[in-house]
Chains A and B, each alone.
Chain A
Amino acid sequence: MPILSYLALPQTGGLKQLCNDLDGLEYCEIIPSLNEEVVVLVTDTPDLKAEKNLQKTLKELPSLQSLSMTFGHNAEQ
């Protein structure tokens, strides 16, 4: 199932909170920037259901300002 990567921007000043929130989600790995308010998010979900649920959770995350996809791969293809 899909492996996707994103650039995640936090609400102003909320990098730490965003990192905590994303780090706590299943199927998510993060690489926070050391010097900018940006987090690299890599998601790796096992099936379509999990992917849809994750997308929904991300959309509702209050600490997240925006999410820009930078890479997409469907492992089944």
Chain B
Amino acid sequence: MKLNRRSFIKSAAAGSAIATAGALFPGISFAHWQKQEGASGQITWQKAPCRFCGTGCGVLVGVSGDRAVAVKGDPNCSVNKGLCCVKGYHSVQALYGKDRLTKAKIRKGNKMVEVPIKEALDVIAAKMKETIKKHGKDSVSMYGSGQWTIPDGYVASKLFKGCIGTNNVEANARLCMASAVTGFLTSFGSDEPMGCYEDIEHADVFVTWGNNMAEMHPVLFSRMLASRKRKKDVTIIDFATRTTRTSQAADKSILFKPNTDLAVANAICYEIIRNKWVNWDFVKKHTTFHKGKTNIGYGTEDHFKFKDAPEDISFNEYKEFLEDYTPEKVERISGVSAKDIKYMASLYGDPKKKCTSFWCMGMNQHVRGTWINNLVYNIHLLTGKISTPGNSPFSLTGQPSACGTVREVGTLTHKLPYGVVMNEKARKKAAKIWNVPVSNIDPKPTYHTVEMFRALDRGDIRFMWIQVTNPMITMPNLNRYRNGALKDDRFIVVSDVYPTPTTDVADVILPATMWVEQEGMFGNSERRTQHFDRIVPGPGETMSDTWQIIEVARRLGFKKQFPWSKKDYIGKIWEEYRRFHDHPKHNMAPYTLLKERSGVQWPFVNGKETRWRFNAKYDPACKPGSKFDFYGKKDGKAWIWARPYESAAESPDNEYNFWLNTGRVIEHWHTGSMTRRVPILNAAMPESYVEINPEDAMDLGVVNGEKVKIISRRGSVTMKASINGRGVPPRGQVFVPFFDESYKINEVTLDAFCPISKQPDYKKCAVRLEKA
């Protein structure tokens, strides 16, 4: 035992040094780390995808007895090839926080009282029945997450959409990925990236669009830096609104004014056409041109509705539209010099260079998120740099299963596991697989996330079950939605692993198992489904989110639809779910194969994974005889969109004279409810802060570490200033990480969203600063 303990301490010592190195040298790689451990033979290792971001790194979890004691990168996983970031290396420690929720609790008066979990499940089912009887089926709702496992989301959708008959199912991926989805659908008719991470080794040029990959996707960023080192002639451009660690590692950092990426993307297309860099063979065969509505609003009012009306246009009309976006004109809008715009265009336009564009929240949390996705696709489509190795417009996900659970299972109000609720064929298919009458599935979507919380505030929704997410930190314009959740006659159930500001508003708290305490699957950014076993037991009365839903479903009378046993329910659920995708465009791997491998990419056809979709050389779903087939569209052609530059919902003015941008840091996962319980990560980044430009700080009379009050029309937060820290915003902008529940920055942000995707813009609102 002594040897084992000593070995564990040495592992922790090495992990600590690696964490420190990660903070000092962004993108640093320690591929031989795995050789450090396991020599004692007393730790057994089992594969799993990492619990945190959407990269989907494979990890090996070291188990001693019934406790997870160590983590190392999985060398057999093609995603990370043995690497991990600081969060990954310390992920198992997140299982063992001192205040782990291990028992169910029910609100009795002003107190939360521990009860047996069976009693809590009885109360939930009874309350749902009562609410539906009193207020109708659309008064109950489920709010989940891109951290739901695939079975979690699947049973939630089946219960609410198939059995209860309400489309009140949403997930927090609406807050992080919805614009990527609508971008893919409007440009290609089919969701999720056409490329894969192998593009990183093939590309000559990388442009990170508002994407601080060095902190948010550090392992992929390491691969990018390693490729640059190996190939020599690789160029990395960081195109962003503030200087970050990504900018520091890039070959060139180009800063733009908030929201003007729309104008710059159009200017790049203008230059591509002007310089005759258009790949006409590709454009003529595989694209068509379109425009949609303009001045489309911001959704800040309740019951906001928007429906686009696409029209066909000619290439010449598109070219004429771009006349408003000459580099010189766009320089005045964006602050990006015409020279830099021409430089970016020349990289994309060079037929000898393979180009990959990466983006994440910067483009997706954007009041014109769908548009900016479309516009970056335009660049790749005009140059024909798409769906081939190294040529990839690549939307990265933030959560481990935003793709797998939310986008593929369809845990959004309008979606079904296959197709949308509005489509009769899709409803019939779902009803057949779910063993429910087709009339159960409502053809009308109800509320997207922001509107769902508005409905809770208004009283249109009376019951909400929240799993694996922390909306009382993450909802924009938070004060309104927290007050709504606390109103009389609202009933909130929260399933989670630790106390959070969301469990604070709960009427029932269910203790959930976490990550490898249950069996499940995640789906990462590159269409890779990753299975993990139950590797260690959960503490106390913890129960998987999937099984919690099954228990409630049975209490509601849906035993026939939820017949599985605890022994094998995950495999059974997966095989049922897989029937929805039983076609060559989306076929998923069988359960037995998922258990064997460190992830399998879909479409999985004839025993093979598809690396590049829409390219007949790699994708068997393409029409025979075609070179490229964008089969999501009826005519097999991708859409190039004329989308204009429009301003943000709220811009600085005389009263509120700064832009506020919010985001994440490398040490913490989202709201920090897990990573803040990992001592090393918490010590490395114990407190949130506001990044201020040094000259603005001087004007305010604030030095590093002094308190600053950030005030918007909705709320205020007082926190320490960070001047010339790891990120530096330009003058007139500030940046605040949202991981720290002590500083609820979303009380300040605005609940404006992209009218097409309904994804809120957390990157732009107006604030003023005061020295506190």
A3-B9, A44-B6, A75-B9 given; A35·B226 CB < 8 A: yes
**A18 → chain B closest CB, angstroms:** 15
Any B CB within 8 A of the CB of A42: yes
Across the interface, which residues of A come within 8 angstroms of B33, CB to CB? 31
Q: Which of B9, B12, B28 is close to A35, meaning CB atoms less than 8 Å apart?
A: B28
B17 and A7 contacting across the interface, CB-CB below 8 Å: yes
Across the interface, which residues of A come within 8 angstroms of B28, CB to CB? 33, 35-36, 38
Any B CB within 8 A of the CB of A63: no
B11 nearest in chain A by CB position: A42
**A65 → chain B closest CB, angstroms:** 14
Any B CB within 8 A of the CB of A48: no
**A16 → chain B closest CB, angstroms:** 14
Question: What is the bound-complex CA distance between A29 and B27, given in angstroms?
Answer: 22
Any A CB within 8 A of the CB of B293: no
Any B CB within 8 A of the CB of A52: no
B20-68 contacts to A (CB < 8 Å): 20-21, 24-25, 27-33, 36
A8 nearest in chain B by CB position: B17
- Of listed A6, A7, A40, A44, residue having the most chain B CB within 10 A: A40
A31 and B18 contacting across the interface, CB-CB below 8 Å: yes
**B88 → chain A closest CB, angstroms:** 15
Any A CB within 8 A of the CB of B593: no
Question: What is the bound-complex CA distance between A44 and B16, given in angstroms?
Answer: 15
Q: Which of B10, B21, B225 is close to A38, meaning CB atoms less than 8 Å apart?
A: B21
Across the interface, which residues of A come within 8 angstroms of B10, CB to CB? 3, 29, 42, 44
Any A CB within 8 A of the CB of B662: no
Across the interface, which residues of A come within 8 angstroms of B229, CB to CB? 35
- Of listed B13, B225, B229, residue having the most chain A CB within 10 A: B13
Any A CB within 8 A of the CB of B222: yes
B228 nearest in chain A by CB position: A35
Q: Which of B6, B18, B21, B226 is close to A3, meaning CB atoms less than 8 Å apart?
A: B6
Across the interface, which residues of B come within 8 angstroms of A29, CB to CB? 10, 14, 36
0/1 interface trace, chain A 1-43, chain B, CB 8 Å (1 if under): 0011111000000000000000000000101111110101110
B30 and A73 contacting across the interface, CB-CB below 8 Å: no
B6 and A40 contacting across the interface, CB-CB below 8 Å: no
B32 and A31 contacting across the interface, CB-CB below 8 Å: yes
A40 and B14 contacting across the interface, CB-CB below 8 Å: yes
Any B CB within 8 A of the CB of A70: yes
Question: What is the bound-complex CA distance between A38 and B24, given in angstroms?
Answer: 10
Question: What is the bound-complex CA distance between A42 and B20, given in angstroms?
Answer: 14
Question: What is the bound-complex CA distance between A44 and B13, given in angstroms?
Answer: 10
Question: What is the bound-complex CA distance between A35 and B228, given in angstroms?
Answer: 11
B14 and A35 contacting across the interface, CB-CB below 8 Å: no
Across the interface, which residues of A come within 8 angstroms of B27, CB to CB? 35
Interface of A is mostly: strand
B226 and A34 contacting across the interface, CB-CB below 8 Å: yes
Across the interface, which residues of B come within 8 angstroms of A40, CB to CB? 14, 17-18, 21, 30
Question: What is the bound-complex CA distance between A33 and B22, given in angstroms?
Answer: 10
A34 nearest in chain B by CB position: B29
Question: What is the bound-complex CA distance between A5 and B16, given in angstroms?
Answer: 8
**B213 → chain A closest CB, angstroms:** 15
Across the interface, which residues of B come within 8 angstroms of A71, CB to CB? 12-13, 16-17
B21 and A73 contacting across the interface, CB-CB below 8 Å: no
Across the interface, which residues of A come within 8 angstroms of B6, CB to CB? 3, 44, 75
Q: Which of A31, A44, A70, A75 is close to B30, meaning CB atoms less than 8 Å apart?
A: A31
Q: Which of A3, A32, A38, A68 is close to B13, meaning CB atoms less than 8 Å apart?
A: A3
A38 nearest in chain B by CB position: B21
Across the interface, which residues of B come within 8 angstroms of A41, CB to CB? 17
**B30 → chain A closest CB, angstroms:** 5
Q: Which of B14, B16, B21 is close to A33, meaning CB atoms less than 8 Å apart?
A: B21
Question: What is the bound-complex CA distance between A62 and B18, given in angstroms?
Answer: 24
B34 nearest in chain A by CB position: A31
Across the interface, which residues of A come within 8 angstroms of B36, CB to CB? 29, 31, 42
A34-B30, A35-B225 given; A7·B24 CB < 8 A: yes
Supplied contacts A5-B16, A31-B33, A36-B25, 14 more A-B pairs, CB within 8 Å: A4-B13, A5-B14, A7-B17, A31-B17, A31-B18, A33-B25, A33-B29, A35-B27, A36-B28, A40-B18, A42-B13, A42-B14, A71-B12, A75-B6
Give 30 CB contacts A-B under 8 Å: A3-B6, A5-B14, A6-B17, A7-B21, A29-B10, A29-B14, A31-B14, A31-B17, A31-B18, A31-B33, A31-B36, A33-B25, A33-B28, A34-B29, A35-B222, A36-B28, A36-B29, A38-B21, A40-B21, A42-B10, A42-B13, A42-B17, A44-B10, A68-B20, A70-B17, A71-B12, A71-B13, A71-B16, A73-B12, A75-B9
- A-B pairs with the 9 shortest C-beta distances? A5-B13, A71-B16, A5-B17, A71-B13, A40-B17, A70-B17, A34-B29, A70-B20, A36-B25
Give A residues with C-beta under 8 Å from B: 3-7, 29, 31-36, 38, 40-42, 44, 68, 70-71, 73, 75
Give B residues with C-beta under 8 Å from A: 6, 9-10, 12-14, 16-21, 24-25, 27-33, 36, 222, 225-226, 229
